Structure 1
Amino acid sequence: MNMMVSRRTLLGGLALGSAGALLPRAALAWKIDGAALYPATSAFIKGFVDRRELAGTLAAIGKGQDAPVFFGAGVQSNDSPTPVGPDTLWRLYSMTKPVTGIAAMLLIEDGKMTLDQPIADFLPAFANMKVQNTPDGSITDVRPAKGPITVRQILTHTAGLGYGIIQKGPLRDAYNREGLFGGQVSRLPIPGLPTTAPAPGLAAFADRLATLPLVYEPGTRWSYSVGLDLAGRLIEVVSGQAFDAFLKARIFDPLGMTSTGFRVPASDVARFTTNYAPMGGALLPIDPATSSIYLDQPPVAYGGGGLVSSARDYDRFLAMLLGEGTTGGVRVMKRETAQLAMSNLIADSVERKGTFIDGQGFGAGGRVSLANSPGGEGIFGWAGAAGTIGFVHRRLGYRAAGYTQIMPSDAVPFQSKFGETFFKDVMA
């Protein structure tokens, strides 16, 4: 099998790409009023199925607190006639990050920690971190960090932590060797992905991470990292609850997100998607729904990339954000906490040139648009490694998400052009 999964596979689809994947033509899955209300977006997502580049696509768009409009095309899997829909289950990957960021903000609202509190107050192993003298160079040529890692920094990718999908050389090898992954892909061996076992839990994940050097001084540079995965362990320690239990109690249950979690129960396999990779003009199933790695409880509840959810569920989360902490008569967090979470939490001094947020800001687990950003101010959200994307536009009063399953996510420009296409409809 001549297929290599590059580092960008798990990045959250932040670049353009193309593929000529061939698959059976599938019928339009949802014939609601999406085509009339959002014609550009409807034609855009349907086109990938018509051109046989993707098995299935779905959009979920809501204005204010109105009910969302779902529209899509295609099927959950090429070997299944089941059309995609609002309750289809998708691998969110890095769209998990804003959920984890909001969970951490709830503990700040509770007064159990503060944004600028050192995480070593709760995770002592991080008290005396070292920094590589040469980023991605030797992991023994190091110096003491000039300052502590704070809660703010792990939520905004400014702690100096690394990522196995970003780093190179000895540090990347050490992350892979220690099982410090940001998510799971398949039971199948995938060329280009590490074959070592993941850390056996969030506690072990954090302890192992603390033994490795930082890439950059805390608070100096934006660098995509395992910070939100570490935040999961911080949430466990601060709250006294398992991370997944905290998410369920404080976010999922109040919002009625009954289809969101870190694994897919056997009873829900019939609405789960297959994940694909393009190969030789076809789509190769790298994680078939019926034998998916997500059918088992993962060793780590990855706060940076582990959730599976439906478009209906994730829209409820986005509606809560757009409602500044409340939706459907349920208040999950205070207005000021929600506003803070979706604001730019990084200082102007933080270096971000050449990164995924060049010219933009970052909040609690998601990108924050600035006045000169495409689309203007008010956007908060993030994307996932298998092609999903979700955001709120607070200034325009919309929430939007696009769903498909392909890795790398930039194999086709579904994710990278979804927001731009959505704005065409809204501005029209």
Structure 2
Amino acid sequence: MTGLTDILQPYVDDGTLPGAVALVDRGDGREPEVAAVGGADVRGEAPMVRDSIFRIASLTKPVTAAAVMMLVEDGRLALTDTVAPWLPEIAEPMVVRTPASPLDDVVPAARPVTVEDLMTFRAGWGFPSDFSLPALAPLLGELRQGPPRPQDVAGPDQWMATLGRIPMLHQPGGAWLYNTCSDVLGVLIARVAGCSLPEFLAERIFEPLGMADTGFTVPAGQSGRFTHSYRAGADGGLDLVDAPDGQWSAMPAFPSGAGGLVSTADDYHRFARMLLDEDGPLLTDGSVRRMTTDQLTPAQRAGAELFLQGQGWGFGGSVDVTAAEPWNVPGRYGWIGGTGTAAHIVPSTGAVTILLTQRELAGPSPYPEPMRAVWEYAAS
């Protein structure tokens, strides 16, 4: 009988992946199936283990969205609130006249940015399908948007001041744009809560759920479980991007709500199960339903095809609206991380699928073959 190890081992054997950890919880009351294959680095000197720690990149986004919903349930925020009282740097944003306009051809935003604009990635800043547009250059250069490099990013106040000088690509509410809104939400959480984002997430999510290996830096004394990170090299091999003593060895000045966390398969499974726990201890079913419901118009989904592959977007993650592939189940919620990670839940069945690897994605699409293979296995 084929199992998760059988699915993943060939990708280690042929050099596609140094190693991987996968978890499939079918929501049927049985223990999740977990596989750990390969090594923590390309040399294979340290074997991959179930509790290996990975840079989870954009799997941070659903966690950030959940934290915002906690503040909403606390009565400290409303989704309809404008963010200007907490984020004055973007109180009066400018917008390029057309997406292709130069940075100095701008008009005022037609209305203020709201919390819901940020949660749905429709605030006006972020990545479209065309990466050549002039308004994207300062996001990549000045704000260091892109593959996570936490030690290279300025602190929240300086980061927000820079964002306030960068024109939006679209009017608030007009289009879905990837990534930047989650970083803004991280700053919003900290300012509303009156503490740092790492402190808020630890107190309200990680500690209650027992996510002891999740945070913006590797837990003290646990670097031996931290994997190396790689990207495809020009020679067909893998080039080192980050080692255990690198970018996540110290707390960053800017804890990224878009892609800054490290975690393990079991820790992220705890977070996923919380989302599936109706009226659980951290979020009500109503809040989770808002998170996991598609918020986009058909035109906005079509404009985000490069990233969403025809699916929708809720708060912090994609939502399947069509069964285009065997793994697409309407209502399936989750996301992928650029460091080679993926996690999804299916609220209708209680299923959870998690894959953590060390190989960066080459781009938003197509999905890497190991992900597709695990998703197909979980859906079978």
Q: Is the contact made by 2:95 and 2:107 (CA closer than 8 Å) also made in structure 1?
A: yes
Q: 2:147 matched to 1:156?
A: no
- The residue type paired with residue 317 of structure 2 is G
- The residue type paired with residue 45 of structure 1 is L
Tell me: CA distance 1:395–1:275, structure 2 relative to 1, closer, same or farther (3 Å): same
Consecutive unaligned residues of structure 1, counting only runs of 5 or more, are 1-35, 188-196
Question: What CA deviation, in whole Å up to 9, does each residue of 1:266-285 have, x standing for no partner?
Answer: 51110010111222022222
Greater Cα offset, 122-131 or 174-183: 174-183
Q: 2:211 matched to 1:285?
A: no
| 2:349 aligned partner | 396
DSSP-derived class of the 2:160 partner: helix
Distance, in Å, in 2 between the alignment partners of 1:252 and 1:137 is: 43
Choose the corresponding residue for 2:87, options 97, 117, 123: 123
The alpha-carbon deviation at position 403 of structure 1 amounts to: 1.2
| 1:363 aligned partner | 314
1:306-321 matches, cutoff 5 A: 306-321=260-275
Q: 2:161 matched to 1:198?
A: no
1:272-421 matches, cutoff 5 A: 272-279=226-233, 280-289=235-244, 291-324=245-278, 326=280, 331-348=281-298, 350=300, 352-353=302-303, 354-374=305-325, 375-409=328-362, 415=368, 418-419=371-372, 421=374
| 2:204 aligned partner | 250
TM-score scaled by structure 1?
0.81
1:150-189 matches, cutoff 5 A: 150-163=114-127, 167-168=131-132, 170-181=134-145, 184-185=148-149
Q: 2:178 matched to 1:224?
A: yes
Q: 2:94 matched to 1:113?
A: no
Q: Is the contact made by 1:164 and 1:175 (CA closer than 8 Å) also made in structure 2?
A: no
Choose the corresponding residue for 2:192, options 234, 238, 244: 238
Distance, in Å, in 1 between the alignment partners of 2:172 and 2:110 is: 8
Distance, in Å, in 2 between the alignment partners of 1:373 and 1:133 is: 35
Tell me: CA distance 1:308–1:146, structure 2 relative to 1, closer, same or farther (3 Å): same
TM-score scaled by structure 2?
0.90
Aligned length: 375
- The residue type paired with residue 26 of structure 2 is K
Distance, in Å, in 1 between the alignment partners of 2:162 and 2:230 is: 31
Q: Superposition RMSD on alpha carbons, in Å?
A: 2.6
1:61-100 matches, cutoff 5 A: 61-64=24-27, 66-100=30-64
Tell me: CA distance 1:184–1:412, structure 2 relative to 1, closer, same or farther (3 Å): closer
Greater Cα offset, 295-304 or 127-136: 127-136
Distance, in Å, in 1 between the alignment partners of 2:52 and 2:7 is: 20
Distance, in Å, in 1 between the alignment partners of 2:363 and 2:141 is: 27
- The residue type paired with residue 360 of structure 2 is M
Tell me: CA distance 1:267–1:409, structure 2 relative to 1, closer, same or farther (3 Å): farther
Q: Is the contact made by 1:183 and 1:304 (CA closer than 8 Å) also made in structure 2?
A: no
The alpha-carbon deviation at position 396 of structure 1 amounts to: 2.8
| 1:142 aligned partner | 106
Q: Is the contact made by 1:105 and 1:364 (CA closer than 8 Å) also made in structure 2?
A: no
Tell me: CA distance 1:325–1:288, structure 2 relative to 1, closer, same or farther (3 Å): farther
| 2:161 aligned partner | 207
Q: Is the contact made by 1:185 and 1:287 (CA closer than 8 Å) also made in structure 2?
A: no
Consecutive unaligned residues of structure 2, counting only runs of 5 or more, are none
Q: Could you say which structure has the greater relative contact order, defined with CA pairs below 8 angstroms and 6 or more residues apart?
A: 1
Q: Is the contact made by 2:95 and 2:167 (CA closer than 8 Å) also made in structure 1?
A: yes
Tell me: CA distance 1:228–1:350, structure 2 relative to 1, closer, same or farther (3 Å): same
DSSP-derived class of the 1:293 partner: coil
Tell me: CA distance 1:258–1:165, structure 2 relative to 1, closer, same or farther (3 Å): farther
DSSP-derived class of the 1:356 partner: helix
The alpha-carbon deviation at position 47 of structure 1 amounts to: 1.2
Tell me: CA distance 1:224–1:348, structure 2 relative to 1, closer, same or farther (3 Å): same
Greater Cα offset, 151-160 or 165-174: 165-174
DSSP-derived class of the 1:246 partner: helix
The alpha-carbon deviation at position 92 of structure 1 amounts to: 0.6
| 1:263 aligned partner | 217
| 1:33 aligned partner | none
- The residue type paired with residue 53 of structure 2 is L
- The residue type paired with residue 228 of structure 1 is S
- The residue type paired with residue 390 of structure 1 is A
